[in-house]
């Protein structure tokens, strides 16, 4: 059976069709619910592997002292902290996240680490970034692009705020390449994750949505085409852990 895509005024929220204008509020609700346990859940649900994926992302970014990096959907600060560590505190990072509760959690973590002056924390929308044209040297988004309502709009905003020569990097759950791993991953995503979310974060539905949103997200080749279609150059991707995640990269020329 061929599934009818959503109308222009609709969007997918997991496996549900919702009014496009309602999706961002629903996404905020998910992350408001899990903000306090978000980092613990990341470790539990990926068995800690997300840390290696994020390390790989920041190594590919190769931030340099004096640069201004923008981390969108940066929530609790994992990417920002890595950028600050790699540049020994000599880069500036702006973290922009849709959910104020996630921004608050990230700021608290930064204070606990003694990082006060190097990171700006902003509540904002990936589809309408509160940054000037050509104002940042690098743009990262980790596990956030699939939650936006209009992927193309978010990608165009990424290009708009990047300076010429700026680097775009997107780390996202993707489509598993190996059939056997794919079946195991489906079982884990739809059975284990919601149960784990209910037990640890007190919200099984939030993690059921996250699993569904991964299945709705474009595959590696399709996302590469969308990135190129937004005006980026040299768009490509690298599969991580057999395609469970993929690291997409491109340049703003």
Give pLDDT tens digits for 7-18.
888 999 999 999
pLDDT at position 192: 83
The lowest-confidence range among 48-62, 145-159, 174-188 is 174-188
pLDDT in tens, 20-46: 999 999 999 988 888 888 887 778 778
Cβ proximity of 128 and 213 under 8 Å? no
Q: What is the CATH number of domain 35-177+206-252?
A: 3.40.50.150
* Percent of the chain's residues with pLDDT above 70: 98
pLDDT at position 2: 47
């Amino acid at each position: 059976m061929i599934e009818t895509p959503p109308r222009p005024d609709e969007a997918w929220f997991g496996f549900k069709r919702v009014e496009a204008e309602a999706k961002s509020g629903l996404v905020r609700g998910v992350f408001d619910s899990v903000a306090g346990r978000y980092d613990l859940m990341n470790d539990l649900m990926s068995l800690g592997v997300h840390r290696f994926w994020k390390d790989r992302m920041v190594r590919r970014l190769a931030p340099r002292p004096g640069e201004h990096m923008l981390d969108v959907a940066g929530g609790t600060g994992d990417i920002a902290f890595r950028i600050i560590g790699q540049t020994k505190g000599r880069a500036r990072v702006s973290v922009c996240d849709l959910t104020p509760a996630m921004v608050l959690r990230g700021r608290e973590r930064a204070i606990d680490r003694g990082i006060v002056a190097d990171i700006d924390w902003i509540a904002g929308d990936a589809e309408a970034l509160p940054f000037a044209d050509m104002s940042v040297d690098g743009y990262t988004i980790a596990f956030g692009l699939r939650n936006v309502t209009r992927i193309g709009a978010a990608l165009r905003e990424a290009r708009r705020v990047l300076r010429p020569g700026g680097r775009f990097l997107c780390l996202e759950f993707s489509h598993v390449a190996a059939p056997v791993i794919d079946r195991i991953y489906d079982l884990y995503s739809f059975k284990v994750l919601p149960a784990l979310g209910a037990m640890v974060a007190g919200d099984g539905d939030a993690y059921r949505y996250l699993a569904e949103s991964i299945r709705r997200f474009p595959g590696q080749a399709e996302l590469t085409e969308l990135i190129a279609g937004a005006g980026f150059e040299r768009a490509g991707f690298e599969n991580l852990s057999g395609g469970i995640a993929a690291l997409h990269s491109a340049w703003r020329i």
